[in-house]
Amino acid sequence: MIIDLRSDTVTKPTKGMLDAMMSAKVGDDVFDEDPTVKILEDRLANLFGKPRALFFPSGSMANQTAIKLHTNPGEQVICDKYAHIYNYEAGGVSFNSGVSCNLVDGHRGMFTAKQAKDAINPDAFYYSQTSLIAIENTTNKGGGACWDFNELINIKSLCNNHKLGYHLDGARLWNALEEKRETELDYGKLFNTISVCLSKGLGCPIGSVLIGDDDIMQQSVRLRKVFGGNMRQVGYLAAAGLYALDHHRVRLKDDHSKAKDIGEVLAQHTAIKTVEPIETNIVIFELAEDVDEQQFFEILHNKGIKLIGMGGGKLRIVTHLDYTNQMHDYLLTTLKTLSL
Ligand SMILES: *Cc1c(COP(=O)(O)O)cnc(C)c1O
């Protein structure tokens, strides 16, 4: 038994999902003729109360497209120092859009409206012009933390006052909605553009969607083409997304409660120095000073357990659809009895 907790992207499609994919009606989406893609895009647009949604092969491409839609070369994006768009999209913000990031020194990937305000450049010719605030919910590097919705509203007013775009990297937004009892409509009202991943907690093999307002989304199909993200009979993948929305959303709370269980056991262990607060499906923890990281990985690896290092001495566990109750029992017992 291999227990892979490196990411919630390691899941394989379930039988039900594969059946849904196999029976999808498809067409050439580049000719705008794939009926299943249209259903998925319409469904997500409606969920968020937005006029437009566009299917993408990856969350990175959806984010990169959004940033390009919001900015001109030489301008600046405000985001947290932990942001995925800054850390894990291969420098795409500068490569694709020619913009720089003004990094906010936030807490667990989140910042305040006051911090965002201070990061807006004054309107002088020698400054880079601030054009976008991008936030991430839940935060990945921040350990699956969820934003306080009131702070998001405050940042929205800031965007309005300074005529800035407001983008949400919602790769794990559904985890936040589950935990905070919020809705897609709440988020649709605040943000100009929202990217969501079907390939994370929802367990699809691939797929992200960018949702947004009509004006800002005008060039989205063209930009997706520029980035090479146009796809043909991709309704097979959109069908996986539709299936996941129907069947896999409701179970995200299981991932969250399992993550909390793991956090509690880790916090008890003498080999662990700290466990960050657990809100959703991500557990980030640090080893005690005298514990060798490589050795820790090796011992768990020999017991069939895989996790990942986040740099700076932080380790990460992510629970997901393919992490069963049986695996959970085994993991908790193994961790409890782990001697180093
Ligand atoms: C996974 C992820 C993405 C998108 O990643 P892809 O692998 O390109 O689909 C974007 N933002 C965050 C916060 C993520 O965790």
DSSP collapsed to 3 states, the chain: CCEECCCCCCCCCCHHHHHHHHCCCCCCHHHCCCHHHHHHHHHHHHHHCCCEEEEECCHHHHHHHHHHHHCCCCCEEEEECCCHHHHCCCCHHHHHHCCEEEEECCECCECCHHHHHHHCCCCCCCCCCEEEEEEECCECCCCCECCCHHHHHHHHHHHHHHCCEEEEEECCHHHHHHHHCCCHHHHHHHCCEEEEECCCCCCCCCCEEEEECHHHHCCHHHHHHHCCCCCCCCHHHHHHHHHHHHHCCCCHHHHHHHHHHHHHHHHHCCCEEEECCCCCCEEEEEECCCCCHHHHHHHHHHCCEECEEEECCEEEEECCCCCCHHHHHHHHHHHHCCCC
Domain with CATH 3.90.1150.10 in the chain: 3-8+251-336
Q: Which of 10, 194, 196, 197 to mutate to test the pocket of ligand 1 (most atoms within 8 A of CB)?
A: 197
Residue range 284-301, pLDDT digits in tens: 999 999 999 999 999 999
Question: Residue-wise pLDDT tens for the chain (340 aa)?
Answer: 899 999 999 999 999 999 999 999 999 999 999 999 999 999 999 999 999 999 999 999 999 999 999 999 999 999 999 999 999 999 999 999 999 999 999 999 999 999 999 999 999 999 999 999 999 999 999 999 999 999 999 999 999 999 999 999 999 999 999 999 999 999 999 999 999 999 999 999 999 999 999 999 999 999 999 999 999 999 999 999 999 999 999 999 999 999 999 999 999 999 999 999 999 999 999 999 999 999 999 999 999 999 999 888 899 999 999 999 999 999 999 999 998 7
Domain with CATH 3.40.640.10 in the chain: 15-247
Ligand 1 contact, 140 CB (< 6 A)? yes
Residue with tokens 């997706």: 224
Q: Which of 61, 84, 173, 198 to mutate to test the pocket of ligand 1 (most atoms within 8 A of CB)?
A: 84
Ligand 1 contact, 58 CB (< 6 A)? yes
Residue range 176-225, pLDDT digits in tens: 999 999 999 999 999 999 999 999 999 999 999 999 999 999 999 999 99
Q: How many other β-carbons are positioned within 10 Å of the β-carbon of residue 92?
A: 18
**If you measure from the C-alpha of residue 213 to the centroid of ligand 1, how many angstroms do you get, rounded to a whole number?**
22
Residue range 56-65, pLDDT digits in tens: 999 999 999 9
Distance, CA of 312 to CA of 82 (rounded, Å): 13
Ligand 1 contact, 207 CB (< 6 A)? no
**Is domain 3-8+251-336 in CATH 3.90.1150.10, yes or no?**
yes
Asked if residue 222 lies in contact with residue 189, where contact means CB atoms within 8 angstroms, the answer is no
Ligand 1 contact, 119 CB (< 6 A)? no
Distance, CA of 78 to CA of 104 (rounded, Å): 7
The pLDDT of residue 294 is 93
Residues whose CB falls within 8 Å of the CB of residue 246, separated by 6 or more in sequence, listed in order: none
Q: How many other β-carbons are positioned within 10 Å of the β-carbon of residue 88?
A: 14
Q: Which of 9, 10, 60, 135 to mutate to test the pocket of ligand 1 (most atoms within 8 A of CB)?
A: 60
**If you measure from the C-alpha of residue 303 to the centroid of ligand 1, how many angstroms do you get, rounded to a whole number?**
29
Phi then psi for residue 160, to 5 deg, are -60, -45
Residue 113, token pair as written in the block:
């409206």
Question: Looking at ligand 1, which residue's alpha carbon is closest to its atom 6?
Answer: 59
* Fold adopted by 15-247: Aspartate Aminotransferase; domain 2 (3.40.640)
The pLDDT of residue 246 is 98
Taking the CA of residue 199 as reference, the ligand 1 atom at the shortest distance is: 9
**If you measure from the C-alpha of residue 271 to the centroid of ligand 1, how many angstroms do you get, rounded to a whole number?**
30
